[in-house]
A and B are shown apart, each in its own frame.
Chain A
Amino acid sequence: MSPVSKLDEQAALVMPDRGRAALNALVTGLACIAAALLVHFVVGSMVGPFVTRIMLDAGVMIILAVSLNIVNGFTGQFSIGHAGFMAVGAYVAAGITYYSSLALFGSYQAQTGLISVGSLIFAASALVGGLAAAGAGWVVGLPSLRLRGDYLAIVTLGFGEIVRVLLQQSNPQLFSWDETRAASLKELVPPPLGGAQGFQSIPTYTSLFWVALFVAITLVFCFRLKRSSEGRAMLSIREDEIAAQAMGVNITNLKVRAFMFASFFAGVGGALYAHQLGTALRPTDAGFARSFEILIAVVLGGLGSISGAALAAVLLTVASALMIELGPWRMVLYALALILIMIFRPGGLFGVKEAWEVFGGLWRRKAVAR
């Protein structure tokens, strides 16, 4: 009776071949790994330790910025406690690798080699850290995401502070497995994560390979999410909640999901950050200073633009490495830049679009003019 068929009927007609889909997924996965290997061995051998360090920092920042973009860019909510989730992931992952290294290898030294038992434990701990952060995201998001955006901002900011206070209450770090085994319950609860002194001697597993691999996974995840029906639904929440609901979008559910995705990757980013050379985790890592830095990257890139957030993360990391000499002026300039961007380019570098859409558009327009 109707010329326009239902969605289900039409989907059945265009179902792609199962084998090809599997191949497609495999190729994507291999491409991520290949890219990571390329960065690790080829690029890594060409640059010195200073540049390597910047690349590691930039990679972690990309993960953080791109993931925060899911909440602030896609769904238009306003989370400013991203560092809190990052800290949850960092502490959980570092706790796992540190104490399991003590137990298994008798030392907190990282095992050598790209793929070792230790590095696999590290990768797993990063995922567990991410899951822990996602769990925290669920706990925070479920009550606050029912409310208007402004409140979420304050709840997330408060969350970061609560994480900081709780981490300060953690027990002193234990420095050998014997000590750990002999520890009384009182020394283990709350967990021995160093308290206000900070958590040190974390095995150094974060390498260009792992950072590049997780960056690739994060980017693939976010791009595919943005281009999917769920991603569109998230974007529709940002544009108009009431219309989105009227079209059948379960806004609370999607907001909480977006929040959990973002927290998960923040946790993974935190894990990578924790296992860098010479990192000592401190409770203040959960505070707002770091959260604001991530937020600035998202805004600078353009809320909703994945490539924008990634590019801005790299720019900011490089800039802040170069501006170290400016000392206190660095943050003053940061702040001024943020205000000026909001006034003169409120959409950030790329707005909601991706880099190639913006540049592609320019190119096309020029072509038409010609």
Chain B
Amino acid sequence: MSRPILDIEKIAIAFGGLKAVQDFTLRLPTGGLYGLIGPNGAGKTTVFNLLTGVYTPQAGTIAVDGTRVEGTRPHEIAAQGLSRTFQNIRLFGLLSVVDNVMLGCHVRGRHGLAGTILHSPRHVAQERAMRRRAMELLSLFDLASAAGEQAKNLSYGDQRRVEICRALATEPKVLLLDEPAAGMNPQEKKELQALIRSLRDRFGVSILLIEHDMGVVMDICERITVLDYGETIAEGTPTEIQRNPKVIEAYLGTEAA
């Protein structure tokens, strides 16, 4: 078996006495599409925050394509090829949609003060390329017509898709999607499922996603990890997960009888 693109080994963090995540282990193979589920407050978003460097894990290791990233700063992790979207959309509201996506390209660019101010050929070319790439990405998501709008003026569903565009613009190896279907109607969800699948194929990106909508998760994820109270209670294929009594218990509670 080849080296996993994202190798998470027993990471943990506690806030005060609360063990938010314990011994979380996950190996995402290149091109994989895995899911992370669990009841509210199970620690799913905390896992994402640990992976992207918002929090530093108190134990365990994280490797992206073989490079250890735990303990490094968020922008360094992004440069290593880990990108994400946010549960509570975090677009740059006053910037235009295309600027939002171009910002994603920033991390892959080279920047020098002299070049920027004197408009060196390198700089001009890079700016043009960023704009082109951003427009290409937006067209893929049917958002090209909204490129000039301020991001805050877009609909909820469109904002979610701009966030994915922005994350893709960083040329990630691994994409973390935090509840991409939240707030979408069934039709939009269906489109989103197709889109997520196509992302993997078009961009060669491996995906880990958090989702509450079981329909979406069971449909597109190859393997699923279930968290409850910060602990991994189950791991397996969608069918295995659906049958797992522990998972059912976590979601529905123990039967009173």
Contacts and interface: CB of A to CB of B under 8 A. Distances in A.
Contacts of B95: 232, 235-236, 239
B126 A229 contact: yes
Q: Tell me what chain B mostly uses at the interface: helix, strand, loop, or mixed.
A: helix
A11 B119 contact: no
B136 A4 contact: yes
B174 interface: no
Contacts of A240: 90-93
A253 to B, nearest CB: 9
A230 B90 contact: no
Interface in B204-244: 204
**Range for the number of chain A residues in contact with chain B:** 35 or more
A8 B125 contact: no
Contact of B126 (A11, A239, A243, A250): A11
A7 interface: yes
Contact of B109 (A4, A5, A28, A229): A229
Interface residues of B, number: 55
Interface stretch (A84-92, A170-178, A220-228): A220-228
Interface stretch (B37-45, B72-80, B188-196): B72-80
A370 interface: no
A239 B93 contact: yes
Contacts of A224: 116-117, 119
A250 B75 contact: yes
A351 B94 CA distance: 10
B161 interface: no
Contacts of B202: 2-4
Contacts of A243: 86, 90-92
Interface string A11-27: 11111111001001100
A14 B102 contact: no
A4 B84 contact: no
A25 B118 contact: yes
Contacts of B53: 245
A232 B102 contact: yes
Contact of B129 (A14, A220, A227, A235): A14
Interface in A1-53: 1-8, 10-18, 21, 24-25, 28
- The residue among B105, B108, B129, B168 with the most chain A CB atoms within 10 A of its own CB is B129
B75 A232 contact: no
Contacts of B133: 4-5, 7, 10
Nearest to A21: B121
Contact of A247 (B117, B132, B170): B170
B125 A11 contact: yes
Given A16-B121, A249-B103, A1 B109 contact: no
B22 interface: no
Contacts of B102: 229, 232
B106 to A, nearest CB: 5
B140 A4 contact: yes
Output the residue of A17, A21, A243, A244 with the most chain B CB within 10 A: A243
A242 interface: yes
Interface of A: 1-8, 10-18, 21, 24-25, 28, 220-221, 224-225, 227-230, 232-233, 235-236, 239-240, 242-251, 304, 351-352
* 5 tightest Cβ-Cβ pairs between the two chains A and B: A248-B107, A248-B78, A239-B92, A243-B90, A245-B74
